[in-house]
Structure 1
Amino acid sequence: MEDLVTAPTELDKRWLTEAVRLREEHAGPLEDQEANRRARQQGGDLAARIEHRALWLAERDGMTQALRHWKQGARLALLALMIVAVLSGAGLGLAALGDGQRPVNVFWALGTLLGLNLVLLVGWALGFFFAGEQGATLGRLWLWLSERFARDAKAVHLAPALLVLLQRKRLNRWLLGLLVHGLWLLAMSAALGMLLALLATRRYGFVWETTLLAAEPFIALTNALGALPSLLGFSIPDESMIRASGATLPSLDIARQAWASWLLGVVLVYGLLPRLLLATLCLWRWRQGRRQLVLDLSLPGHAQLRDALMPRSERIGVQDAAPEHLPQFEAGQLETGSSGALLVGLELDDQRAWPPTLPRTVTNAGVLDSRESRNKLLEQLSRFPPARLAIACDPRRSPDRGSLALLAELARNAGATRIWLLQALPGQALDAARLGDWHEALDRLGLHHADTSPLTWLEHGHD
């Protein structure tokens, strides 16, 4: 639940920006007039404006919420893989030692514990240096599980966007490497823990067996594998113990303890520590590279936004520089250097005489009855916000979502706003239920409304 209320991280912002670009690349440009206008108000360079536009569109279209669901699904997928890794590691430890009824062949046990791990580790290293696609299978499995757990149709572009974003800095190899080595680290830790539990609670005998080889190769291999673990304090069976283990089951407890210590040390040094070191390296490179992620402005989806987000007048330096701190505002209250008074009508019919007689200090903005007139007025308000704005509405019309969104956007670009719910013309009647819907919707937006003329307020700032 905490993730639902936290602000998006820098990686999330880049991620959502890339997801919006991919969506527009596949489905065509989005309706972005308001997003572009907000981005221009935000200021900054082209990359900052593209990101601000994308974040607004992502929030509007539900992609931000989808990202939260996807990340929750990714955590569940990772938890499932971690559980599988722990159970697999514990199973390896149990299979290597058995139930204690028969002696343990030390080299078969070692092959069971380290064989698959070392083979996959070599495969990862070869893929890292030659193919660059190490961990791709496990990574695809994790992404597939993440999408299944997320169950959000709006998250369709998130996984491809993440891969495209990370491939620019080749961070995918470090993220997948962290996933692979982290899971193997869990598996080897579980295997080592199972070995410790079994050796502490059961009596095992250790032998080595051969038909073709002499004892010397086993003695040399045992000493070679135990050299590094011995530096950490693990025991190595001496030559007499090794020879005795090849001839018959040793009955001395000191021999059992030496073999057990040797086995634990070899698993720790050659199984667990390499994964720990590689996981730490991948984590360090991932965190280091994540801070260097930037937008690629040369991509077609970003390059074509330059004219809309960086008007030519701004690029040649006509406008003032953006302020260091942008104003924070709510509907109906814009904390900025606004001035003047403005009256505008919203979708008024021709039967009503408009505009009324206005004081000299009040400007008539006409009637908003088309998308072009709305966008033109919003563009003007974003540059020259009025101190007082009155919006005349015909309460015979239903307060649909489009009209309410426009009222909220107009109010956010004015110092103070009032809604004038016009009275019915002679011979007409107002629907009480519809008027109640207007009152409820405007109260929900936090906009002051009345059915009396606001001209006095527009002229003097008070009633």
Structure 2
Amino acid sequence: MEHRVSPLDQPTPNRLHRLWLSETIRLREEHAGPLEDSEINRRVQLQGDALGERIQTRAWLLGERDGQVQALQHWLHGARLAALLLLLLCILSGSGLAVAALGDGQRPVNVFWALGSLLGLNLILLVGWTLGLLLSRDSAGALGHLWLWLSAKLARDVQAAQLAPALLLMLQRQRLSRWGLGILVHGFWLLTLLTALLTLLALLATRRYGFVWESTLLGGDSFIALTQALGSLPALLGFSLPDAELIRASGDSALANETARLSWAGWLVGVLVVYGLLPRLALLLFCLWRWQRGCIALSLDLSLPGYSLLRERLQPSSERLGISDAAPPQLYQPHAGNQLAQSQGAVILAIELDPQRNWPPTLPKGISDAGVIDSREQRNQLLDQLSRFPPARLLIACDPRRSPDRGSLALLGELSRTASATRIWLLQPPAGEALDSERLSDWHQALEQLQLSYSDSAPFSWLEHGHD
């Protein structure tokens, strides 16, 4: 029976995702204690990168093993769903603003009430965002925090609980959260105002509206000055600007002539574009520019205690053998894998054999004997050697008279990840000794869960040539 495992296709992490996951792993270890990472640290040490890159690689490998990478993908999926919900809300809100501004066409439109309906809330929130930008470190706004809350709710993954705090901590440390969430806030408002503009144009094109201004306290001269002041910038872009006589005449009743209606409609559209859409577009581009610049300079703060503790483990000044870390609070399921890069040759080894057994057997030419693993020091030394010089084929001999305990299975999975192909050789008992069928069945079941192929007879042909 033979089963070969293909490597899982993991998404290629970009730089922001690697930094984000590193911060998430740091927070997790601060709350739950250090993770079991001896094999991963050994793989990271072989790469020879700078400490920051090693920490990112370690975090990504731990995330693949423990589920944080999948949780990150779930969180991003939830963030996209939350953004779609908010986009739908923006479209509905924009349409509602335009309908509320013009009404049903049965009564004249008060131009300044219409203008307040279209731009009033936008102006208030824009001033609030600007003050937050100047006075505080975090100016995400209610819309940005709503998006973060929805993203966490839609992720539905217990592993995603620390992703949002880790992201905010990392971005706030570099003062990037205001620009990232600013892109969302201004983008949503830009869509809202664009929807309001399109709805406004559709209503003006299909209905006949009359325009008036009304006031008890202010006179016609004040409205003339205010209207022309607001319309001066839109007029530079080609939008119409009512003259003083038309503005004064509109204070008594809606003018029925077509020129007056077109002039007021063009003025209203121009003010919405110049004082609503263009500022939001400019702020969106500004936040995007600052975000991109900040992401280039984004890095890990290696002075944090969580990262300082990793320095000796990922860039050891000396090799220490025989030190056993404390057991983690939660055990993880061992798994097998394979190493496809730069592998060559064939190696045979054995795990915890009875000293009475004759080992090694007579081997074909070209097969290397790695001996018998009996101690932690031998295990670490062999794993280091196989990690540096991965074999194309690895045959591991096991004594099925011993029970397949968790430590042995974890070692088999770790050894299999150093070779392109691995097979387990379940040795026959000495002559005259029977093999416990129940224990052999336990071995078969455990190896099948590990997805490792096994054989009851010596597969020397496979080890020598790569096939049976």
TM-score (norm 2): 0.84
- Distance in 2 (CA, whole Å) between partners of 1:462 and 1:279 is 61
Letter in structure 2 aligned against 1:46: L
Give the 3-state SS of the residue equivalent to 2:429 in structure 1.
coil
Mean Cα deviation higher: 411-420 or 82-91: 411-420
Q: Kindly provide the CA deviation profile for residues 296-349 of structure 1, in whole angstroms up to 9, marking residues without a partner as x.
A: 2111111111111112159xxxxxxxxxxxxxxx7377635779x553224x5x
Match of 1:310 among 315, 320, 324: 315
Match of 2:338 among 327, 331, 355: 331
Q: Kindly provide the CA deviation profile for residues 53-79 of structure 1, in whole angstroms up to 9, marking residues without a partner as x.
A: 111101000000000000000011111
Letter in structure 1 aligned against 2:338: A
Correspondence for 2:294:
289
Correspondence for 1:322:
none
In the alignment, is the contact (CA less than 8 A) between 1:74 and 1:149 conserved in 2?
yes
Q: CA 1:159 to 1:461, structure 2 compared with 1: closer, same or farther past 3 Å?
A: closer
Structure 1 position 375, deviation (Å): 3.7
The yes-or-no answer on 1:353 pairing with 2:356 is: yes
In the alignment, is the contact (CA less than 8 A) between 2:397 and 2:426 conserved in 1?
yes
- Distance in 2 (CA, whole Å) between partners of 1:272 and 1:386 is 62
The yes-or-no answer on 1:343 pairing with 2:349 is: yes
Q: CA 1:253 to 1:136, structure 2 compared with 1: closer, same or farther past 3 Å?
A: closer
Moved over 6 A (4+): 359-362, 454-463
Give the 3-state SS of the residue equivalent to 1:213 in structure 2.
coil
Q: CA 1:313 to 1:401, structure 2 compared with 1: closer, same or farther past 3 Å?
A: closer
**1:68-87 alignment to 2 at 5 Å?**
68-87=73-92
Q: CA 1:25 to 1:440, structure 2 compared with 1: closer, same or farther past 3 Å?
A: closer
Correspondence for 1:106:
111
- Distance in 2 (CA, whole Å) between partners of 1:444 and 1:304 is 32
Match of 2:444 among 414, 427, 438: 438
Give the 3-state SS of the residue equivalent to 1:304 in structure 2.
helix
Q: Kindly provide the CA deviation profile for residues 186-213 of structure 1, in whole angstroms up to 9, marking residues without a partner as x.
A: 1111111111111111111100112222
**1:207-226 alignment to 2 at 5 Å?**
207-226=212-231
Match of 1:60 among 51, 62, 65: 65
Q: CA 1:358 to 1:311, structure 2 compared with 1: closer, same or farther past 3 Å?
A: farther
**1:7-156 alignment to 2 at 5 Å?**
7-156=12-161
Q: Which runs of 5+ in 1 are unaligned?
A: 315-329
The yes-or-no answer on 1:168 pairing with 2:170 is: no
Q: CA 1:28 to 1:405, structure 2 compared with 1: closer, same or farther past 3 Å?
A: same
Structure 1 position 391, deviation (Å): 2.0
Give the 3-state SS of the residue equivalent to 1:343 in structure 2.
strand
Structure 1 position 380, deviation (Å): 4.5
The yes-or-no answer on 1:427 pairing with 2:433 is: yes
Q: CA 1:418 to 1:117, structure 2 compared with 1: closer, same or farther past 3 Å?
A: closer
- Distance in 2 (CA, whole Å) between partners of 1:428 and 1:60 is 39
Letter in structure 2 aligned against 1:335: Q
- Distance in 2 (CA, whole Å) between partners of 1:117 and 1:438 is 67
**1:194-233 alignment to 2 at 5 Å?**
194-233=199-238
Q: Kindly provide the CA deviation profile for residues 348-388 of structure 1, in whole angstroms up to 9, marking residues without a partner as x.
A: 5x5x62453667996564344x6665445423443566787
Q: CA 1:402 to 1:155, structure 2 compared with 1: closer, same or farther past 3 Å?
A: farther
Q: CA 1:385 to 1:205, structure 2 compared with 1: closer, same or farther past 3 Å?
A: closer
Q: CA 1:355 to 1:16, structure 2 compared with 1: closer, same or farther past 3 Å?
A: farther
In the alignment, is the contact (CA less than 8 A) between 1:334 and 1:412 conserved in 2?
no
Letter in structure 2 aligned against 1:366: V
- Distance in 2 (CA, whole Å) between partners of 1:116 and 1:294 is 37
Q: Kindly provide the CA deviation profile for residues 399-445 of structure 1, in whole angstroms up to 9, marking residues without a partner as x.
A: 57764442242134358755321113433234289459639946974
Structure 1 position 17, deviation (Å): 0.9
Mean Cα deviation higher: 27-36 or 384-393: 384-393
In the alignment, is the contact (CA less than 8 A) between 1:185 and 1:276 conserved in 2?
yes
Q: CA 1:182 to 1:414, structure 2 compared with 1: closer, same or farther past 3 Å?
A: closer
Structure 1 position 140, deviation (Å): 2.1
Letter in structure 2 aligned against 1:211: T
The yes-or-no answer on 1:249 pairing with 2:248 is: no
Give the 3-state SS of the residue equivalent to 1:77 in structure 2.
helix
In the alignment, is the contact (CA less than 8 A) between 2:391 and 2:419 conserved in 1?
yes
Paired residues in the alignment total 440
- Distance in 2 (CA, whole Å) between partners of 1:333 and 1:116 is 59
Q: CA 1:44 to 1:452, structure 2 compared with 1: closer, same or farther past 3 Å?
A: same
Mean Cα deviation higher: 385-394 or 146-155: 385-394
Q: CA 1:224 to 1:66, structure 2 compared with 1: closer, same or farther past 3 Å?
A: same
Q: CA 1:333 to 1:438, structure 2 compared with 1: closer, same or farther past 3 Å?
A: farther
Structure 1 position 392, deviation (Å): 1.6
- Distance in 1 (CA, whole Å) between partners of 2:361 and 2:401 is 24
